[in-house]
Amino acid sequence: MVHLGNKVFSNVCTVISLYISQVLLDSLMTGMKLLVGVCTEEQQTLIVQKAYSMVSSVLPLPPKSMTHCLLAVDELVPSHSVQETALIGMISSVIVGLRFQTPVPDMIVMINLFTVFLLNGKLPAAYALASIFNKYLHNPEFSHENQLDKILDDILERCFTTVLDNSYSKISHSSVDTSNEANFLYVSSGNVPSKIDILSGLAWIGKGLLMRGDEKIKDISMFLLKCLCSGETVASTPAHEEEYCGSDSSDTSIATSAAGAFNIMMSDSEV
């Protein structure tokens, strides 16, 4: 089984060096997750180590000495090519299929890598992050050493900030501040599709936390509620402010995506 898993991952990496369709990649990711899921803990350890070795040989990962905290978005994998994104999708499938007892090699390095891809709107990275925090955040064998709780806070803050940046919506910049003194931003429009994927990614991370009863689900829920209300805020914006703020199409998309994010968190899933 281990040989099969390693061979499948190696062959997939060879395939994705060429053009690969999203439909085929989705099928390969599902197959990899199911294959890893039926393996023993020892077998999974060998497979994930092989997968990490192949990823580290392709992507410019940082030295371990630099991974005590999250790195800047542009410090890792600045190109985000189709091949790199597909590779991240495959290793995320491996991690999703792991048992709770199976360790992730160089966990903080991997979290950094997945976070960078998530902040660039690559949804498979969110599946891996959701799985990591679901399995290891409350596991004393991993959580204390890696300070996963603080790292999760940093990831959520970066996601919140990225969604708010380049948006015309009048949304509180604080994810948990519900007071009347919350700060509001009006800035220029940005990459709406990426922000929509980040919101979906937040939903998957939230689902992982919800399944473990973690209180940080409140932070994600409050942020999504504020995004959901942003469409209503724009709809009530006076005409003379609309000229300054620009089109409200991006705000409507964000609000709609926030509603969809709640559906993701509440629906059944194997992640």
Instruction: Annotate 15-60 with DSSP letters as a single string.
Output: HTTS---HHHHHHHHHHHHHHHHTS-HHHHHHHHHHHHHHHHHHS-
Residue 198 to residues 53, 71, 133, 160, 178, Cα–Cα distance (Å) = 27, 18, 17, 9, 22
Residue-wise pLDDT tens digits, 62-117: 655 445 555 554 454 445 677 788 888 999 999 999 998 898 888 888 898 899 89
- In three-state secondary structure terms, 184 is strand
- Picking from 13, 140, 131, the residue whose alpha carbon sits closest to that of residue 83 is 13
Residue 3 confidence (pLDDT): 61
- Split at pLDDT 50, 70, 90, the class of 43 is very high
Residue-wise pLDDT tens digits, 150-191: 889 999 999 999 888 755 444 444 444 433 333 323 333 347
φ, ψ (nearest 5 deg) of residue 172? -60, 130
- Are the C-beta atoms of 136 and 148 separated by less than 8 Å? yes
Joined tokens for residue 44 = 């999974």
Residue at token pair 């003194």: 181
pTM (two decimals): 0.78
Measured distance CA(266)–CA(211) in Å, rounded: 10
